[in-house]
Amino acid sequence: MNRWIKFGIASVLWVLIFVVWMRSGWMLLGLVVIFDIYITKFFERNVLPRHRELARKNRLYYSITDWAWAIVYSVVLATVIHTCVFQFYKIPSQSMEKSLMVGDYLYVSKISYGPRMIMTPLAVPLVHNVLPVFGGKSYCEGVQWKYKRLKGLKPIRRDDAVVFNWPADPAHTPVDKRDNYIKRCVGLPGDTLQIVGTQLYVNGVPQPRYEGMQQTYEISTSVPFSEQVVFDDLRIYPGDFEYDPASGKFIFPLTQEGLQRVERMGNVTDVELVEARRTFFPTVNGWTENDYGPIWVPARGATVELNLDNIELYGHIIEVYEHNSLEVRNGVIYINGQVADSYTFSMDYYWMMGDNRNSSSDSRYWGFVPEDHIVGKASFVWLSLDPTRGWFDGKVRWSKMFKKVR
């Protein structure tokens, strides 16, 4: 094939992927390298022969450069895959039980919603925020790049299981280095949500209860449950189990199917929903986990009227996520030093909740999730290990292997 044709094909692919898709004009400089590879061949004629001659004469030089190229190639390739294609994620807590269980290892797709470009470039490759073995930060905050996301296959949809960076990080860690969380997206930009007696409504429409969704109950019995019933038959995660010897009540979460099983047991005398905890977002309304809202989820380009009643809802967005100065003086709201009675949002926001509704730290406690915190979509479980069991006692949950996350 003519070298100009090869150059043309390589250039078109480069521009489509790195200039158009990544929306980076700087990547046009790569055309200089492509031009040299196919047309001028300066590097091939002047540099490579010297390298090969040195490698032939000096065994140490050959070994060092050979290993260096292998390491660089591997790290670059792995970083591109980790940033743009997928990453693995392990379920650390019981907030998504029984949909996703502690010890589930997930394939998280970056392509689904579009890869988020690196925001903290000075970091150890392939390490999130803590150095393995040694501990300590794996990154330097000295350089921060602006948020940019490439075009994905589809937008976030309601009920998707989404991995995101924890927005309520108290240490103000760089966005892409904050701890990863996973919850279910129950509210999209522009939605209005409300929970009434544990029933979730979105835009006034009652939402179906997921198969693995749980609520926590207080269960009174005439004869106490055995460990086999609690941990083997009902598969209650130990971290979710409580027993109050004074009242003789068991407290643990159940799916709808599990609740029906418990109610049919002969030793069960009473089953009641646990008293719901008060939520922390916002702090002024007295809402609880089971009765919450209504609350509106901000959307990019939408304008909201600001007043002293809703500034707690949207003030954190204005000041922290969208980097404005915000003050309230003598009952008057100031944004960037100017009196403000309205605000137009520059990002989309989402409302995330765990399927284990009474045992989940989620948007009811720390508010909205900005679009720049979104990591990817939980696609499927590729490995599932029960941390409470031994290798010869059912540790591998074979029934969950390679199952799509719903």
Contacts of 239 (CB under 8 A, 6+ apart): 93, 94, 102
Contacts of 324 (CB under 8 A, 6+ apart): 318, 335, 336
Q: For the packed helices 59-84 and 48-57, what is the interaxial angle rounded to 10 degrees?
A: 130
Q: Which whole-number Å values give the CA distances from 144 to 120, 123, 125, 140, 316, in the listed order? A: 5, 11, 16, 9, 21
pLDDT in tens, 12-54: 998 888 888 877 777 888 888 888 888 888 888 888 888 888 8
Burial degree of 96 (CB within 10 A; 0-12, 13-18, 19+): buried
d(CA 390, CA 405): 25
DSSP secondary structure of 308-358: TTTHHHHHHIIIIIS---EEEETTEEEETTEE-SEEE-SS-EEEEE-SBTT
Check if the beta carbon of residue 159 is closer than 8 Å to that of residue 110. Answer: no
What is the structure's pLDDT at 1?
Answer: 63
Closest CA to 126 of 196, 74, 165: 74
What sign for the dihedral angle of Cα 216, 222, 224, 230? negative
E strands in 208-306 = 215-221, 242-244, 249-254, 268-273, 292-296, 303-305
* Distance from chain centroid for Cα 64: 39
Q: Identify the segments of the chain with pLDDT beneath 50.
A: none
The token pair that represents 217 in the structure block:
């109950």
In the chain, the amino acid numbered 377 is K
Q: Which whole-number Å values give the CA distances from 195 to 39, 188, 203, 293, in the listed order? A: 65, 16, 11, 6
For residue 316, the number of C-alpha atoms closer than 13 Å in the C-beta half-sphere is 16
Give pTM, 2 decimals: 0.88
Burial degree of 122 (CB within 10 A; 0-12, 13-18, 19+): exposed
In the chain, the amino acid numbered 137 is K
SS (H, E, C) 219-238: EEECCCCCHHHHHHHCCCCH
Task: Give the residue extent of every domain in the chain.
Answer: 3-81
The single residue listed with the structure tokens 């989402």 is: 350
